[in-house]
Amino acid sequence: MLKEFTKGLIKENPVFIIVLGLCPALGVSTKVINSLGMGAGVIFVLLGSNIFVSLLKDFIPDKVRIPAYIVIIASFVTIVEMVMEAFIPALYDSLGVFVPLIVVNCIILGRAEAFANKNTIKASILDALGMGIGFTLALILIALIREVFGLGTITLFPIGSFSGVIEIPGLVDSPVRVFGLAAGALLVMGFLKALFTWIEDIRRVK
């Protein structure tokens, strides 16, 4: 049962191996804090949609399963959007258009269709957590590289007297701006995809 959780971290990582959810992955990964926020939103929506799809798998008619999944997913995303705007407005402002775009994140509909509607609630919860955390870790890794080189900073949540921004000496004054742009996102994604594919090939040979 534990493999349902661990498979999403590396072996079936949604971003680097299954190559799902790339639009938000590349769009929000300009700063680490955006990746953490988007990751948290996706984990919540994925968890909610997987639980409800698994729970209602015998109730939802096969012919209308996709519209039913979309209603469930869109409802969870709207709840995330409203709660985020009410209680974490800074993060809501920072993530902008990408929060409502969670609705069309392929990972969520993909896991509902490929896993949750065929498996138990327990397995679906583990799958959602594994895939959600795998997606979040992938976003953090891409954002860390892009923000460090593209802006010369690492932006986290402010805590007490800590502003939340760690400046990297040498890079903060003369960053490599291309890493912050769309081209940099594709370059970083490409190299990381190659790295993960190589790691998977080695594991398979062993």
Partner 1 sequence: MKEVVKTGGKLAVICAVAAIALGVVNAVTEPKIAAARAARLEEALSELSVGLNIGQYVESDNQNGINGYYPLSDAGNVDAYIVDVTGAGYAGDLGLLTTISLEGEVLAAALMEDSETPGLGKEAENASYMKMYIGTGKDSVIPSSKSHLNPADADAITGASITFVGIGKALNEAADFVGQIGGM
- Residue from the set 61, 160, 169, 170 that interacts with partner 1 by CB under 8 A: 61
Compute how many other C-beta atoms are within 10 angstroms of the C-beta atom of residue 53: 28
Angstrom distance (rounded) from CA 11 to CA 63: 32
Is position 173 an interface residue for partner 1 (rule: CB under 8 A)?
no
- Residue from the set 3, 19, 23, 67 that interacts with partner 1 by CB under 8 A: 67
Give the SS3 label for residue 96.
helix
Compute how many other C-beta atoms are within 10 angstroms of the C-beta atom of residue 75: 15
Query: By C-beta, is 132 or 150 nearer to partner 1?
Result: 150
Angstrom distance (rounded) from CA 99 to CA 86: 14
Q: Which stretch binds partner 1 (CB under 8 A): 15-23, 29-37, 104-112, 132-140?
A: 29-37
Is position 27 an interface residue for partner 1 (rule: CB under 8 A)?
yes
Is position 124 an interface residue for partner 1 (rule: CB under 8 A)?
no
What is the footprint of partner 1 within residues 131-160 (CB under 8 A)?
151
Q: C-alpha distances in angstroms, 62 versus 58, 65, 66, 67? A: 9, 5, 8, 10
Q: Give me the phi and psi of 49, to 5 degrees please.
A: -70, -40
What is the footprint of partner 1 within residues 80-109 (CB under 8 A)?
82-83, 85-87, 89, 93-98
Q: How many residues bind partner 1 (CB under 8 A)?
A: 36
Query: By C-beta, is 1 or 86 nearer to partner 1?
Result: 86
Please enumerate in sequence order all residues whose Cβ is within 8 A of that of 12, keeping only pairs 6 or more positions apart, or say none: 18, 131, 134
Beta strands in 15-124 (DSSP E): none
- Residue from the set 71, 114, 186, 195 that interacts with partner 1 by CB under 8 A: 71
Angstrom distance (rounded) from CA 99 to CA 45: 11
Query: By C-beta, is 182 or 186 nearer to partner 1?
Result: 182
Q: Which residues form the interface with partner 1 (CB under 8 A)?
A: 27-28, 30-31, 34, 56, 59-61, 63-64, 67-68, 71-72, 74-75, 78-79, 82-83, 85-87, 89, 93-98, 151, 177, 180-182
